[in-house]
């Protein structure tokens, strides 16, 4: 008797990037962000141009990877970003990043702040791409052709790489905030909506790194909470180091 097969583990590939390369399009960047759902901390965006001859194995949506695996892949992704500048682009790997701080999120709203950070990440690349693949429904002002790919971090290797760089960078920032603001547990929950974070807000009050436009933080300030406010969340399938 044949046992039923489990759900297929679909991993990102470099196929769409290679298809564009065959059309003469290059460089190609993948772009993604981390930190849209938390109550505190910035949104961090990253843009990555992968070397077609050295695409790291094991790339995946950063939320589906444990912290140790993310760190290892982050090192592989960033390793040749510091390579000799005389190397040709086709033999290197480049990445850029940008941060949208809480004040920008509160001023512009989380979606606009995220799109701004994504565009800035592309602008920070040391080379100008001809095509940008961005995760999600919204295209960004990348200064070149841009394609939005829903669940792109689970489909395209370049976006998956960007998601890992963004996630690791943000986690490191939140760990530093945890040292600066003891008692909040930022180093553990990374600013997400978990009971420990709510308890810290009630006990210690919000910090300048909390997002006042998010309902739980507004309530902690004593502000009027409206229905259009973000509530904060844990991203689906997130593996948070609690």
The burial of 103, by beta-carbon neighbours within 10 Å (0-12 exposed, 13-18 middle, 19 or more buried), is given as middle
The answer for residues whose C-beta is within 8 angstroms of residue 34's C-beta and 6 or more apart is: 43, 44, 45, 62, 163, 166, 167, 169, 170
Instruction: Read off the tokens for 142.
Output: 């990348």
Instruction: Read off the tokens for 60.
Output: 């995946």
pLDDT of residue 96: 83
Angle (nearest 5°) at CA 225 between 190 and 178: 20
pLDDT in tens, 107-139: 999 999 999 999 999 999 999 999 999 999 999
The per-residue DSSP string of 90-133 comes to GG--EEEEEEE-HHHHHHH-HHHHHHHHHHHHHHTSSS--SEEE
DSSP 170: H
pLDDT of residue 3: 45
> Residues of the chain whose pLDDT is less than 70?
1-9, 80-93, 234-242
pLDDT of residue 79: 78
Torsion of CA 126, 130, 135, 137, to 10 degrees: 140
Q: Alpha carbon of 91 to those of 22, 23, 51, 56, 220: distances in Å?
A: 17, 19, 6, 14, 51
DSSP 89: G
pLDDT of residue 185: 97
DSSP 52: T
The model's pTM:
0.88
Q: Which residues are 147's β-sheet partners? A: 133
Query: What is d(CA 209, CA 193) in angstroms, rounded to the nearest whole number?
Result: 14
pLDDT of residue 7: 53
Q: Alpha carbon of 242 to those of 43, 72, 175, 216: distances in Å?
A: 20, 20, 13, 20
């Amino acid at each position: 008797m044949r046992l039923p097969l489990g759900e297929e583990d679909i991993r990102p590939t470099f196929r769409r990037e290679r298809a564009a390369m065959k059309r003469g399009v290059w460089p190609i960047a993948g772009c993604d962000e981390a930190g849209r759902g938390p109550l505190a901390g910035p949104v961090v965006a990253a843009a990555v141009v992968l070397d077609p001859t050295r695409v790291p194995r094991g790339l995946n949506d950063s939320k589906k990877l444990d912290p140790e695996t993310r760190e290892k892949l982050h090192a592989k992704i960033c390793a040749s970003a510091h390579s000799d500048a005389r190397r040709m682009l086709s033999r290197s790997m480049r990445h850029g990043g940008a941060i949208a701080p809480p004040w920008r999120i509160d001023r512009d709203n989380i979606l606009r702040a995220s799109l701004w950070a994504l565009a800035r990440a592309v602008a920070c690349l040391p080379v100008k791409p001809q095509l940008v693949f961005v995760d999600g429904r919204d295209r960004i002002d990348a200064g070149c052709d841009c394609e939005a790919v829903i669940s792109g971090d689970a489909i395209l290797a370049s976006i998956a790489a960007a998601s890992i760089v963004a996630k690791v960078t943000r986690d490191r920032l939140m760990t530093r905030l945890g040292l600066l603001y003891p008692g909040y547990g930022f180093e553990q929950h990374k600013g997400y909506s978990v009971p420990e974070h709510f308890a810290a807000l009630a006990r210690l009050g919000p910090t300048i790194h909390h997002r006042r436009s998010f309902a739980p933080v507004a309530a902690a300030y004593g502000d009027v909470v409206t229905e259009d406010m973000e509530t904060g969340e844990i991203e689906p399938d997130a593996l948070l180091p609690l």
